[in-house]
Structure 1
């Protein structure tokens, strides 16, 4: 007996749950976090507040767990990878100069916004709200704190600047040793790959972590407190937005001669993760991935991104301390003049490594205030609102950490413009997939004026 067509037809495919884009997951986490935080704050739901706090703390703790070894191996390997890049010293120098140039632009914008809006006036806060922070920064600590006393403490106490110092020393020593260092470098590359794979798993938890972090901020501070800092908060967000959506696109269009909209398509996954995680170092693997997908050679991206993640902080180290210093000066009725404003510029451009790519910018702010002679108690005024501000600051930081490698690659004629033109946002599930083949890194002779 012959089978009917219906008998031989291919069975219908089972129902499949559609993938939710990572940005949609993050957005859902933001909305749910705000709602749950508002409920916990309004009706004083203790168990909900505790749950939100623990979820946020665990997510940040997981990010920090990988920070120390990730920074060490990423920077060590990035320095040794420069041996595969023609004219590596030139690339490194131009990268650092662009870091400083964009920091200068960012701090100038911050000063301008602060002077126009007077964020420290009419806040409704009183001196009792001020308190000196537990963690402070000084130039002596900054300079002497770069060199560790031993090789263990920087990892156990998460002294990122000291870890960077050791990584740079080891990387340069490995370059000098040549073939003798190859076994150690291969081990380091394997360890770095393992750390990055583990961090991808943590990154996938970002939507859940977002619920806890945002919910805790709303639960602890509420809308009334946010209203007291309305001008200051708006200043930080406007300043960061001007750099993120104004300065960076202008530089990309005029210096790199690439499409800024195309840049944001490719870089958006890292920018949105930075916004919710508030950690440049925690975002580093994703930042490097989007940088490579935008056409920056892997050998150069693996140097520029790790260094940027620990030293390139336009949001935390330029815009924020500039506006915050004006806020504190106005609150305590301390007059500042041209000398003080120039000192703010100096601290922001030179001392940005003090932020170390971790959540928060307290050390950088105390370094700025102490240099200006302003009361450190002013930091206590700003700690309450810091988590809300830190999201936008970190997003700006990470965007800058992608912009500079694109700029330098374009100027040095090693940017793969075809890859840049086809760069797109991608799902977090595909983020750790290989970028694909690209031309070898070569440079055309460049005549400098």
Structure 2
């Protein structure tokens, strides 16, 4: 018998947790249900899993961000291509998270589901701070304390600074860079080990949810998926389509026809990194010069995570709504900053989006238990958001190449000419 994949096991855990939770929900309260099952076995498995995820947030973000920023290349020689690429990737990621927050605030996918009684510990947002204070608070006065206390914006700033410094030092920093790359591999392996227990954690968290709130969670979860997919669709058509038309003045159909090959890879693997060879191939076929595509595509797999940002924004509001937590403008700004900066170090492999979501939730004081509810549908969303991530890499490459006169318009328009002929 063919071995089940981790995704299949997680989906099975979601289904069994849903069934078991409804069975518990229809049984009367008592020692066995409340103390032994809900307060004992399920609590250990569910809370233990979320604690393990939380354990990995700071080290993974710190190490991966150092590696991501250190691999950009010589910052003094990035030039126009580097500047345009970074501006596109970070700008569109910020726009993506803003779109998701607007959709989440207007459509309210978590409305009608109250899970505030299920949060372990206090669920509250800290005292209100001005935007200026939030920006100044990004700079840590004590980096070690920031790492220990999980001040994520400060951790991100410190990690980026180290990565840039490693770049500027040159050969003398190579050993440190290798050390961080090794640490990154170790962190990724630790995440993989933790994710082996995801089916049991999802089963426990989902069972606890449905045992407490019943079938109300199904409607909220369905709304969450629809809002995320709507955000992805808006981002593709309005942001990517609009920027492509404005900056290239070309028809988008030649690109979309070629991109179906890339989409087949992203849908099946849910990995940005896995799509890099195919993206490079179609960019070459569309007339993009090697100097541009060899820089923008690998860079995008590392720092361009628009689809992931949309998921994180909707998920943060969804979890805030089901736990009855009000997020103000300052908290919204913190989510935008955290998700945008974190996208620089998000590894282009399946599953890491949940770790990054944990970081975003932690930055504004939201409970991690909510992740268990959405993890069962994460694989479905992951296929779509990874495709959006990689589409952004390719659109950016075409725009930058066109601006640098490194795009062969004749090669790009070849399919249209053939069709007319």
Structures share fold, TM-score greater than 0.5: yes
Question: d(CA) in 1 for partners of 2:78 and 2:346?
Answer: 26
Asked if 1:303 corresponds to 2:303, the answer is: no
1:91 Cα shift? Answer: 1.0
The one of 345, 349, 354 aligned to 1:354: 345
Partner secondary structure for residue 245 of structure 1? helix
Moved more, 141-150 or 113-122: 141-150
1:117 Cα deviation after fit: 1.1
The match for 2:152 among 121, 138, 159 is 138
Alignment TM-score, normalising by the size of structure 2: 0.60
2-side partners of 1:248 and 1:393: how far apart?
A: 14
Q: How far does residue 142 in structure 1 lie from its aligned partner after superposition?
A: 3.9
Q: How does 1:82-231 map to 2 (within 5 A)?
A: 89-123=79-113, 138-139=152-153, 141-143=155-157, 151=178, 154-155=181-182, 158=185, 229-231=221-223
C-alpha displacement of 1:279: 0.5
Higher helix share: 2
Q: TM-score, normalised by structure 1?
A: 0.57
Residue in 2 that maps onto 1:336: 327
Q: 1:88 to 1:334 in 2, by over 3 A?
A: closer
**Helix, strand or coil at the partner of 2:384:** helix
Q: Does 1:327 align with 2:340?
A: no
Mapping of 1:26-105 within 5 angstroms? 89-105=79-95
- CA spacing shift, 1:255–1:395, aligned 2, 3 Å: same
Structure 1 residues not aligned, in runs of 5+: 1-32, 43-71, 162-215, 425-449
Secondary structure at the counterpart of residue 274 of structure 2? coil
> Which residue of structure 2 aligns with residue 420 of structure 1?
412
Q: Is the 8 A contact 2:151 2:363 kept in 1?
A: no
Q: 1:285 to 1:236 in 2, by over 3 A?
A: same
Aligned to 2:336: 345
8 Å CA contact 1:137–1:363 kept in 2: the answer is: no
1:379 matches 2:371: yes
- Partners of 1:160 and 1:122 in 2: CA distance: 38
Number of the residue aligned with 2:250: 258
Q: In 2, distance between residues paired with 1:130 and 1:403? A: 43
- Residues 60-98 of structure 1, C-alpha deviation per residue, up to 9 Å, x if partnerless? xxxxxxxxxxxx9xx97x959x99xxx951111111111
Task: State the partner residue of 1:363.
Answer: 355
Deviation at 1:385, TM superposition (A): 1.8
Question: Quick one: structure 1 residues 266 and 107, their matched pair in 2 at CA, closer, same or farther if it must change by over 3 Å?
Answer: same
Give a deviation string over 1:150-193, Cα, whole Å, max 9, x none: 736734752699xxxxxxxxxxxxxxxxxxxxxxxxxxxxxxxx
Deviation string, structure 1 residues 27-62 (Cα, Å, up to 9, x no partner): xxxxxx99xx99xx79xxxxxxxxxxxxxxxxxxxx
> Any idea what the Cα deviations from partners look like across 1:272-311, whole Å, max 9, x if unmatched?
3112211001111112212222221112101111110011
* Residues 116-125 or 357-366, more deviating: 116-125
Structure 2 gaps, min length 5: 1-6, 17-66, 122-149, 164-175, 189-198, 207-214, 417-421
- The count of corresponding residues between Structure 1 and Structure 2 is 294
Pairwise CA RMSD: 3.9
Corresponding residue number in structure 2 for 1:292? 284
CA distance in 1, matches of 2:219, 2:366: 25
Judge conservation of contact 2:342–2:356 (CA < 8 Å) in 1. yes
Q: Which structure has more RCO (C-alpha within 8 Å, separation ≥ 6)? A: 2
2:267 maps to what in 1? 275
Report the counterpart of residue 201 of structure 1 in structure 2: none
* Equivalent residue, structure 2, for 1:234: 226
Cα distance change, pair 156–260 in 1 and its aligned pair in 2 (3 A): same
1:252 and 1:229 map into 2 onto residues whose CA distance is 33
Do the aligned residues in 2 keep the contact of 1:267 with 1:291 (CA within 8 Å)?
A: no
In 2 relative to 1, CA 91–153 (structure 1 residues): closer, same or farther, beyond 3 Å? closer
Q: CA deviation at 1:260?
A: 1.4
Residue 60 of structure 1: aligned partner:
none
Give SS of 2:287's match: coil
Residue 229 of structure 1 aligns to a residue whose secondary structure is: helix
Q: Tell me, in whole angstroms, the C-alpha distance in 1 between the residues paired with 2:341 and 2:317.
A: 19
Output one character per residue of 1:201-239: Cα deviation in whole Å (capped at 9) or x when no partner.
xxxxxxxxxxxxxxx9xxx99xx9875511000111111
Cα distance between partner residues in 1 of 2:96 and 2:181: 30
